[in-house]
Amino acid sequence: MSSNRGVVYMGTGKVEVQTIDFPKLVDPRGNKCNHGVILKIVSTNICGSDQHMVRGRTTAPIGMVLGHEITGEVIECGSDVQFIQQGDLVSVPFNVACGRCRNCEERHTDVCLNVNPDHPGGAYGYVDMGGWIGGQAEYVMVPYADFNLLKFPNKAQAMEKIPDLTCLTDILPTGYHGCVTAGVTSGSTVYIAGAGPVGLAAAASAQLLGAAVVIVGAGNPARLAHARSIGCETVDISKDASIAEQIEQILGVPEVDCAVDCVGFEAHGHGKNYDPKKGVPAIVLNTMMEVTRAGGAVGIPGLYVTEDPGAEDEAAKLGYLTMRFGLGWAKSLSFYTGQTPVKKYNRGLMMAILNDKIQIAKAVNVQVIPLEEAPQGYQAFDKGAAKKFVIDPHGSLK
């Protein structure tokens, strides 16, 4: 039996690299997965969604293997796998999806009906998402392989571009989905809340879609500086001037055509009330309604939860937010929520990467680290490092 190591959640603020079970072609409920494959992981990324769990803002159990952003090489195929072969280099959407239910057939792989007994939607290494083992490890099992996996057409070319292609598992499709659902198109003015990896991926996506002006808002100076380095305008949410006032200084009007929430429920105050340690979970949504033009749209790929045990008020602990929804209604705004159906976008975005139409590794400032340094990566990311940490568990990357 081969060995395996993975990043394990050990309680609020703590992760460890531990020896874990080598994957088997079995699902979390013990059913045989003849439709699955075993991957030797080439790259696996630390995500802001992982940080929600590590910060104690979910009901994640101690001992859970983390990681849902997985790129790897197939080393074993189940007997029912027909089109994926041993040796293939593949990208794994973070959504676990069967490919056979009504939602999957309608391209809503984010809410597959068959991979999670508790509610629609599954993911690797994530709380309440079906119990699928995470991929911040050396090896992982992927079910429904023929449907889920995106094979790279040229293995050698793909290995040269892994720092970019590793972003196909989540953050690039997520940022792109936020922009598409917000209606970003040629000539759009766009406000993106958040300058973390998803926010920067959304900014790069907006540029790919032809936006005229992309404005990124955050309170982290290093992240704002990086956003400017890739051609974005920025607003500093810690300034006394409101976001609308800062947008007016850039555009001449205090509103944008489209807005994308890449922050989610762990948002903080703005202006005089800005405090990185204080949560104001609805503030981004309320700001979006204020600064988006009448008839516009808001994409919301940022994560919101049904339960937030780390919230500062009782309502937010149960997932209730104090939203100024009447303003959104009065302005005829459209809102689009939910996890990203990665398969809807990943093939097209792969082609954009392979043909040098987007440099996403540069946009999100990828830094490759070995598996042993994952705990330090989590700590640096939690402190606001302007980087996307990519774990290289086998030393495969340059």
Q: Are 327 and 290 in contact (CB under 8 A)?
A: yes
CATH value at residue 259: 3.40.50.720
pLDDT tens digits for range 340-361: 999 999 999 999 999 999 999 9
122 and 198 share a domain? no
Asked whether the predicted pLDDT for residue 398 surpasses 80, the reply is: no
CA distances from 196 to 163, 331, 384 (A): 17, 29, 8
pLDDT tens digits for range 112-141: 999 999 999 999 999 999 999 999 999 999
Write down the pLDDT at residue 277: 80
Using pLDDT thresholds of 50, 70 and 90, give the confidence band for residue 1.
Answer: low
Q: Are 181 and 173 in contact (CB under 8 A)?
A: no
CATH value at residue 55: 3.90.180.10
Asked whether the predicted pLDDT for residue 260 surpasses 70, the reply is: yes
Asked whether the predicted pLDDT for residue 195 surpasses 60, the reply is: yes
| Spatial separation of the C-alpha atoms in residues 210 and 88, rounded to whole Å | 34
pLDDT tens digits for range 40-66: 999 999 999 999 999 999 999 999 999
pLDDT tens digits for range 359-397: 999 999 999 999 999 999 999 999 999 999 999 999 999
Whether 83 is covered by a domain: the verdict is yes
What are the strands, taking DSSP E only, across the chain? 5-9, 15-19, 37-45, 70-77, 89-92, 95-96, 122-123, 139-142, 150-151, 189-193, 213-218, 233-236, 256-261, 292-300, 334-337, 366-370, 388-392
Whether 312 is covered by a domain: the verdict is yes
Write down the pLDDT at residue 117: 96
Residues in the chain: 398
pLDDT tens digits for range 222-243: 999 999 999 999 999 999 999 9
User: The pTM is what?
Assistant: 0.96
Domain count for the chain: 2
| Spatial separation of the C-alpha atoms in residues 389 and 397, rounded to whole Å | 13
Using pLDDT thresholds of 50, 70 and 90, give the confidence band for residue 309.
Answer: confident
66 and 112 share a domain? yes
Using pLDDT thresholds of 50, 70 and 90, give the confidence band for residue 196.
Answer: very high
| Spatial separation of the C-alpha atoms in residues 260 and 205, rounded to whole Å | 11
Report, as an integer, the average pLDDT of 260-279: 89
Tell me which residue of 100, 97, 93 sits closest to 111, measured CA to CA.
Answer: 97
53 and 64 share a domain? yes
Domain finish residue from 290, 308, 337: 337
pLDDT tens digits for range 142-168: 999 999 999 999 999 999 999 999 999
73 and 201 share a domain? no
102 and 203 share a domain? no
| Spatial separation of the C-alpha atoms in residues 121 and 115, rounded to whole Å | 7
pLDDT tens digits for range 91-103: 999 999 999 999 9
Chain position carrying tokens 């593949």: 90
Torsion angle in degrees (nearest 10) through CA of 326, 330, 333, 335? 20
87 and 175 share a domain? no
179 and 318 share a domain? yes
Asked whether the predicted pLDDT for residue 215 surpasses 90, the reply is: yes
